Amino acid sequence: MEIAFDPVLPSPYDSPRMWVKGDIVLTVAFHRLRLLFAEWSDGQRLYDVRILDAATMDRVRDCVRAGIGL
C-alpha cells in the first residue's frame, strides 16, 4: 500500500511516497525504535511525530489482513 506524506519526512526518509509492506508484520519494543527528528533547536532534537488519519489506518489494517491471508 502506498502512503503519501505532506510535508515529506526528514532526510533520509524524504521521499514523498512510502510503502506499507502488509505481509511483513513484526513486533518491536518501542525503546528500540529510532525516532525521526526534524532539526536541532537549542541543543535539543525536535521530533517529527506523524499521526495517520483513521481512513488511512483502516487501509493499512486491510493491507495487513490481506498480506497475512485473513
CA dihedral sign, ordered 32, 38, 41, 46:
negative
Residue 67 identity (one-letter amino acid): G
Q: For the whole prediction, is pTM greater than 0.85? A: no
- Map grid coordinates 532526510 to a residue: 11
What are the structural domain ranges in the chain? 2-27+34-67
Cα–Cα distance measured from residue 34 to residue 3, given in angstroms and rounded to the nearest whole number: 20
pLDDT digits (tens, 9 = 90+) for 36-60: 776 676 778 777 788 889 999 999 9
What is the DSSP secondary structure assignment for residue 31, as one 8-state letter? Answer: G
pLDDT digits (tens, 9 = 90+) for 8-29: 887 788 888 889 888 888 888 8
Beta bridge partners of 41: 44
Our CA angle for 61, 21, 57, nearest 5°, is 25
